[in-house]
Copies of this chain bind each other. A is one copy, B any other.
Amino acid sequence: MDTDHMIKIIEIKKSVFADNELDAEALRKELKAKGVYLLNLMSSPGSGKTTTLIRTINLLKDKLRIAVMEADIDSDVDAIKIREATGIQSIQLHTGGMCHLDAEMTRQGIDGLAMEGLDLVILENVGNLVCPAEFDTGAVRNAMILSVPEGHDKPLKYPLMFSVCDLVVVNKIDVLPYFDFDMEKCKEYVHMRNPKAQVIPICAKTGEGVEEFARWIEEEVKNWKNQ
């Protein structure tokens, strides 16, 4: 049997809800009642979201029951990669050209998951630093990955994205010697947008720093469950 055919693909329909804020609040409550923490992970195309998730999930999967929803305009390569590399439940959401997910679209994904016993669902949002930042997905937290080759000036250019994220993971630090990326300036610019945001430098390829990201997630889920 071809592995490709074992990945569940959900074709996301456009939302009919007028008030996304209300809808996101409702989804957050539903998930809270089920004890499932939703993390919304955003980034540019090619920042390394999938590789980072694989590393992180492999560190966490014995402590938390995790599922991943991979949102993409097309293709299902990411969902397959995640499932093959971690063994966890992974589904693909096709946005059909839409550049972001809102709460109703996220719910369509949630409805496609086997939720029984889950602690954590990670939504890998569409690779885009603009539109996804505008829509509350119903997640407990927003996090983003900025990769070294993109440059440390991104918080200046994409203010909303950096304002709505509680955590900025800076990926691909192994290539720092080959790029003009200033980590201190990056942190300064991130904090201009959100003074409370945490910055965690990692290299998803080698695994450096990934424990800290995994720890952040673990603490987040634990504190939220105890609230």
Contacts and interface: CB of A to CB of B under 8 A. Distances in A.
Contact of A129 (B127, B154, B172): B127
B75 A156 contact: yes
Given A44-B46, A128-B128, A153 B99 contact: no
Number of copies: 2
A189 to B, nearest CB: 10
A159 B147 CA distance: 22
A151 B44 contact: no
A84 interface: no
Contacts of A79: none
B175 A99 contact: no
Interface in A60-101: 72-75, 77, 97, 99
A184 to B, nearest CB: 18
Nearest to A147: B149
A45 B97 contact: no
A220 interface: no
A130 interface: yes
Contacts of A74: 156-159
Contacts of A72: 157
Contacts of A182: none
Contacts of A153: 75, 77
Interface in A172-224: 172, 174-175, 178-179
A160 interface: yes
Contacts of A45: 44, 129, 150, 154, 157-158
A73 B127 contact: no
A54 to B, nearest CB: 14
11 contacts: A44-B45, A45-B150, A45-B154, A46-B150, A46-B154, A72-B157, A74-B157, A127-B158, A128-B129, A130-B131, A175-B175
Given A44-B46, A77-B153, A149-B175, 4 more contacts: A46-B149, A46-B150, A130-B131, A131-B131
The 8 A-B pairs of least Cβ separation, nearest first, read: A46-B150, A149-B149, A99-B130, A75-B156, A46-B151, A44-B45, A99-B131, A45-B129
